[in-house]
Amino acid sequence: MRALRIFLIFAVILGGLFVIADRVAVGFAEDEAADRIRTNEGLATTPDVSIEGFPFLTQALGGELDDVRIGIKDYEATTSGSNDAVSTIRIEDLNAEMHGVVFSSGYSSATATTATGTANISYAELLKAAKSETTEITSGVTAQVTGLSDGGNGKIKVTVEATVLGTKLPQPISVLSSVSVEGDTVKVHADTLPNLGVALAENAVRSITDFEQKIDELPGGIQLDKVEAARSGVDISVKGSDIRLVG
């Protein structure tokens, strides 16, 4: 009986030491991976990296991790808008969960089999893609988009100010717009056109109300999937396969 008690105590101590060693090892691996991702993607700040699953050491010995979560704040994505001018757009929160991450010794390379995640682009950032400068849409009529906001029910409220025959309309006009993703492009399309008080061709008005924002580069080659208007901006779902995290 005494021998069994001693064995159990010894097993508990060994188990505790293994857990401690496992957590120390995973902490080191997370820090190392975060530094490598920052360098590989040219990030301004170090991302948050969390290696899921227990124990880590057995996963590491096999050269593959079940799940790795990565969080990047204020990611600057390369973009091009309606006028094809290349610029950047700030993604405030980019969070991705990588599945089946295969890595080499020393973490010099790492590739995820699949990935899913979310991102958020504020309305202020998305406004950069709209006609926020005064634009002539027909002779004697100018207009500009002055604001984007949450229109409720997954819609974006697009606010337009206009001047007709030298007279500025007393109040801005708002329209509800649908937002969608097509390939690597976020598109905003007015459900109905604003009434500016004069007869205008639809394509002339849509040259102001409708716009798109292309997002050419996301970390590791993940792609846009779905988009929905939210309170502070547009919430985007991302996904991908064979995502190269490092190397």
The CB density around residue 233, as the number of other CB atoms within 10 Å, is 22
191 falls within a domain: no
Please tell me the predicted confidence (pLDDT) of residue 181.
93
- Indicate whether 217 belongs to any domain: no
Instruction: Tell me, yes or no, whether 54 lies in a domain.
Output: yes
CB 236 within 8 Å of CB 158: no
pTM beyond 0.75, yes or no: yes
Structural domains of the chain, count:
1
Q: Looking at the domain assignment, is residue 98 inside a domain?
A: yes
Q: Is residue 61 part of a domain?
A: yes
What is the C-alpha separation between 229 and 223, in angstroms, rounded? 18
Count helices and strands in the chain by DSSP H and E runs:
4, 13
Question: Would 99 be classed as within a structural domain?
Answer: yes
Residue 140's identity, in one-letter code, is G
How is residue 192 annotated by DSSP? S
Tens of pLDDT, residue by residue over 174-228, are 999 999 999 889 999 999 988 877 777 888 888 888 998 888 778 888 899 999 9
Residue 45 lies in a domain: yes
Is the residue at 96 inside a domain? yes
- Per-residue pLDDT 10s for the chain (247 aa) are 544 444 444 444 444 444 566 566 777 888 888 888 888 888 888 899 888 877 877 887 777 888 889 999 888 887 765 555 567 888 888 999 989 888 776 667 788 899 999 999 999 999 888 877 888 888 888 888 999 999 999 999 999 998 888 888 888 989 999 999 998 899 999 999 888 777 778 888 888 889 988 887 788 888 999 999 999 999 999 999 988 877 6
Rounded CA gap, 39 and 160, in Å? Answer: 42
Q: H or E segment at 1? A: none
Domain that holds residue 43: 2-71+87-119+240-246
Greatest extent of the chain over all pairs of C-alpha atoms, in Å: 100
- Residue 147: other Cβ atoms inside 10 A: 16
Tokens of 43: 């990030």
pLDDT for 21: 64
